Chain A
Amino acid sequence: MDVRKIIIAFVAVLMAILQPWVFSPIYFAGLATPFPYLLILMLLPVDTKQTTMLWYGFGTGVLIDVIGGTPGLFTAALTFSAFVRKYLILLFLDREVSVTQPPSSTNLRSGFFLFLLLLVSIHLGVLMFLDALTLFDALYLLRRWGSSVLLTYIILILLYFLLPIAPKKD
């Protein structure tokens, strides 16, 4: 098996464990919760098959749900995010770049940061909508969604720069 895939699988399991036990209880400023497990969607190469992406998303979601006791919630949201990932990348992808690497500022250039923001926004939007389902307090939900998107986005950017995710430029 490819070492890279093993590493990604390990990261996925690690994130799935950390999310319910470490990150989910965090309510920064009473609103923001970080969801750094989205990192796994950044680790897979751009040309990853959709079915593979779906299995990654689905598997990680199931693991989080099983550990966190939220059956179906993260699975649905992460599967959806894994599915739309390809279409978001296509919005910013240049034709003359390598697609065998994970999405980064190298192949998506500045669009990478926007791609990441959209991915986080969509994922947390779906997740929080499924969690609340009713917009009984739409303003609170909006604030929680916005602050969580910002916090998660910052964490992912930090991880992107701190971890050896981004491929080196040729």
Chain B
Amino acid sequence: MDKLLEFLRRKRHWLLFVVMEVLALFVLFNTGLYHRVLGLTATNAVVGRVNTVMSQARSYMNLREENHRLMARIASLEGQYMQLQQQMSFAIADTVRPLVFVPDSTCLESPKLSFVTARVISATDHSLDNHLVIDKGRAHGILPDMTVMSDRGVVGVVASVSNYYAVVITLIHPKLKLSCRIKGSNYVGSLSWEDPADESNAFLSDLPNHAEVKEGDTVLTSGYSYTFVPNLMVGRVSSLKARSSNRDRGHNINLTGQSAFSTVSVKFATDFSRLRFVYVLRSTPVREAQALEDSMMIRNGR
């Protein structure tokens, strides 16, 4: 302490000099406008630069924390985005009215149909066992044999149901045959799909040979089914030429042939490779009629 005091005593002229200079400069920079402005400018420039450097340093030091915070924020926003996206998809799907019933002069009254919108959670379209799995089941009123539509046309039929899921056999399944007719006429044929390499086209066979069919004609469900109500959109005639295998098998030939029946190619209205949402028609399956027919067949068989 004594040494410090002694040092200060010896160098007191330095202390006095600093005090006097500071006092003089303080007065200089705080009284005259010119010097005050210059002083403020210089001070601001220096302080601003120091603040910038300090701010950058602080930002750099806080980058890890900031990064964690941003990652958490991104995760939160991603979750919200996915939730909104899903809600939006369902909302859009609910606003699309499926093209299920095509008015026709042969059908005076349109059936009252209600739908359950379901999301496709699994689909196969390149095998001989094509089917869909949808995220609605018995708990949502889905029952076996209900018709499944897309916003374009018929997709298939509900095959089995659990509480919250259902399996749908699609039209591109070789075992599913659908009775169809050409719109504007009562000519009925049987629609079937056989070619795993082509999931967009099927064959409408057993059409009367004299039927007037043109390419582009609309193909609808005929209603001769316990599952599908009439006049549901199925597709359009894409070609009048019959497949050679059918000709070879002697089932049908083309419309100008001598066979009693003919076959046309039908392009599905539904794109089975792009199905995201489907609509299950909550029509009551005509189980009673089917049971009656079955009992008749058993009785006749006996």
Across chains A and B, the number of contacting residue pairs, with CB separation under 8 Å, is: 53
- Cβ proximity bits A88-108 to B, threshold 8 Å, 1 near / 0 not: 000000000000000000000
Which of A34-42, A70-78, A142-150, A151-159 makes up part of the contact surface? A70-78
Closest B-chain residue to A57, C-beta based?
Answer: B20
B13 close to A50 (CB less than 8 A): yes
B17 interface residue per 8 A CB criterion: yes
B29 interface residue per 8 A CB criterion: yes
Q: How far is the CA of A71 from the CA of B12 in the complex (A)?
A: 25
A133 interface residue per 8 A CB criterion: yes
Q: How far is the CA of A49 from the CA of B16 in the complex (A)?
A: 12
Q: How far is the CA of A65 from the CA of B32 in the complex (A)?
A: 12
Report 12 cross-chain contacts, Cβ distance below 8 Å, ordered by A residue: A51-B13, A54-B13, A54-B16, A54-B17, A54-B20, A58-B24, A71-B32, A72-B26, A76-B24, A79-B21, A83-B17, A133-B42
List which B122-164 residues lie within 8 A (CB) of chain A.
none
B53 interface residue per 8 A CB criterion: no
Q: Give the shortest distance, in Å, between A128 (CB) and chain B (any CB).
A: 13
Given contacts A133-B35, A134-B38, contact A72 B24 (CB under 8 A): yes
Q: Which residues of A contact B12 (CB under 8 A)?
A: 51
Which 3 pairs, one residue from A and one from B, show the smallest C-beta to C-beta distance? A72-B28, A50-B13, A72-B27
Q: Give the shortest distance, in Å, between A18 (CB) and chain B (any CB).
A: 21
A133 close to B38 (CB less than 8 A): yes
Candidates B13, B20, B28; contact of A71 at CB < 8 Å: B28
A75 close to B31 (CB less than 8 A): no
Given contacts A79-B21, A80-B21, A133-B38, contact A71 B16 (CB under 8 A): no
- Cβ proximity bits A111-141 to B, threshold 8 Å, 1 near / 0 not: 0000000000000000000100110000000
Given contacts A54-B20, A72-B26, A72-B27, 5 further A-B contacts (CB under 8 A): A58-B20, A65-B27, A72-B31, A75-B24, A83-B13
Binding site for A on B (CB under 8 A): 12-13, 16-17, 20-21, 23-29, 31-32, 35, 38, 42
Q: How far is the CA of A80 from the CA of B16 in the complex (A)?
A: 11
Interface of B is mostly: helix
Candidates A73, A75, A133, A134; contact of B20 at CB < 8 Å: A75
A61 interface residue per 8 A CB criterion: yes
Candidates A49, A50, A51, A79; contact of B24 at CB < 8 Å: A79
Q: Which residues of B contact A50 (CB under 8 A)?
A: 13, 16-17
Q: How far is the CA of A130 from the CA of B31 in the complex (A)?
A: 14
Q: Which residues of B contact A65 (CB under 8 A)?
A: 27
Q: How far is the CA of A80 from the CA of B21 in the complex (A)?
A: 7
Given contacts A58-B20, A79-B20, contact A72 B25 (CB under 8 A): yes
Q: Give the shortest distance, in Å, between B211 (CB) and chain A (any CB).
A: 101
Q: How far is the CA of A58 from the CA of B18 in the complex (A)?
A: 12
A61 close to B24 (CB less than 8 A): yes
Q: Give the shortest distance, in Å, between B197 (CB) and chain A (any CB).
A: 86
Closest A-chain residue to B31, C-beta based?
Answer: A71
A75 close to B27 (CB less than 8 A): yes
Q: Which residues of B contact A49 (CB under 8 A)?
A: 13
Q: How far is the CA of A72 from the CA of B12 in the complex (A)?
A: 22
List which A44-75 residues lie within 8 A (CB) of chain B.
49-51, 54, 58, 61, 65, 70-73, 75
Closest B-chain residue to A75, C-beta based?
Answer: B24
Q: How far is the CA of A14 from the CA of B42 in the complex (A)?
A: 36
Candidates A54, A58, A130, A134; contact of B28 at CB < 8 Å: A130
Q: How far is the CA of A50 from the CA of B38 in the complex (A)?
A: 32
Q: Give the shortest distance, in Å, between A137 (CB) and chain B (any CB).
A: 15
Q: How far is the CA of A70 from the CA of B25 in the complex (A)?
A: 11
Q: Which residues of B contact A75 (CB under 8 A)?
A: 20, 23-24, 27-28
A76 close to B38 (CB less than 8 A): no
Q: Which residues of A contact B26 (CB under 8 A)?
A: 72
Question: Which of B23, B25, B28, B42 has the most A CB atoms < 10 Å from its CB?
Answer: B28
